Amino acid sequence: MKAIMSVGALIGVVGLLLLVGMILDIVPSNTVRLVEGYMPVQMLLELALFVAGFAGLSYMMTAMGMTFPRFWQGILFWAFILLYLKFRVYPPIPFSVRAMYGTVSLVAVFMWVSANEEDWKKFKQPIMNILDAQTGMNKLLRYAYLIVLPILIGGFSYNAMVPKSEEPIELRTVHPAPPASTKVHGKTYTLQTSQNPYRVNPEGKYDQEYTNANIVEQGMGRLMKPNANPWDKDAQGYLKYVREGGEIFFQNCHFCHGDNLNGRGLHAFAFNPIPANFTDPGTIAQLQETFIFWRVSKGGIGLPNEGFPWASVMPPWEQHLTVDEIWKVILFEYWHTGYYPRTWD
């Protein structure tokens, strides 16, 4: 038991040191990387590790005769969560969301300290001691609180009222509802029935299963299947179209959407919001191929009114690409990210 707890304590101390390092900017915040796509799970796991570490730490301290008052445990744990959310997670979480998490964890901490009568008593004991002020030390503390609290609260409210120039918060619809049909280069495409003419099997028939078998593999790196190289000289049909789509992508799209289709292209840093990240399971993996066709063809300017505030510099690619080229680029995007387009059924 003691061994397990001391391991826990060690984890707690190391984790705390890392976090303090990050807060003070000594340890770069990407020392332990948050992996794209796994970030929420990773955060939960890290927090669980911390909790285990703190449990161990508290156990060890009690064993060594240095019991940590429950009151401070609660307060410090809550402070810890707030600091973790602010300094550990990158890109930063907006304040409004952090405030939400903060409230939820405050409630959780309250539930923990008031789980039973005895715990609750332990928790509120230090507060009562200060209020009653029966020792000299407590008396001193009481006066200190009497003076410091109003100053702090006054200071906070002044801070809140002084005019500041923070960027206005902006929400937007990520995937607005598509129209029933779209007209590109003079031809009307019904989104529900149109198909990517290049998603074909060796017989030349539309075949999702065949093409899905040839996309890159999921997992770190997302590498192509060993025997499905679009750059093979003999590549025909689907794989050849993938290569042609890739050529168009790397002449037009990668400037924003990035070499790895993760929205971090050469010019992406200049734009706000940053370009769509196709490796994120929330983008093309969730959408039908015809939806992508509509968005690529019509661009940001073609967004419907619900798509407000249209914060997109995506050009209507029909002005630069042919219909065939657009379909091939879409084919490439699904191939390279290893996702399947969603189907209508």
Closest to another protein by CB, 12 vs 302, is: 302
Told to check if 209 binds another protein by CB under 8 A, we report no
Told to check if 111 binds another protein by CB under 8 A, we report no
Told to check if 88 binds another protein by CB under 8 A, we report no
| Phi/psi-derived region of residue 188, left when phi > 0, alpha when psi is between -120 and 50, beta in every other case | beta
Told to check if 173 binds another protein by CB under 8 A, we report no
Q: Which position among 28, 65, 136, 186 is part of the footprint of another protein (CB under 8 A)?
A: 28
Q: Which position among 4, 175, 255, 281 is part of the footprint of another protein (CB under 8 A)?
A: 255
Rounded CA-CA distance 32/37 in Å is 15
Helix (H, G, I), strand (E, B) or coil at 192: coil
Told to check if 193 binds another protein by CB under 8 A, we report no
> Which residues is 125 bridged to in the sheet?
none
Report how far apart the first and last C-alpha atoms of the chain are (Å, whole number): 54
Q: Is the dihedral of CA 103, 109, 114, 115 positive or negative?
A: positive
Closest to another protein by CB, 165 vs 343, is: 165
Told to check if 100 binds another protein by CB under 8 A, we report no
Told to check if 163 binds another protein by CB under 8 A, we report yes
Told to check if 21 binds another protein by CB under 8 A, we report no
Told to check if 66 binds another protein by CB under 8 A, we report no
Q: Is the dihedral of CA 34, 214, 240, 185 positive or negative?
A: negative
Rounded CA-CA distance 260/246 in Å is 11
Rounded CA-CA distance 269/229 in Å is 31
Told to check if 230 binds another protein by CB under 8 A, we report yes
Shortest distance in whole angstroms from residue 145 CB to another protein: 8
Which range of residues in 27-35, 43-51, 63-71, 321-329 is near another protein by CB under 8 A?
27-35
Tokens standing for residue 146: 């009497």
Told to check if 270 binds another protein by CB under 8 A, we report yes
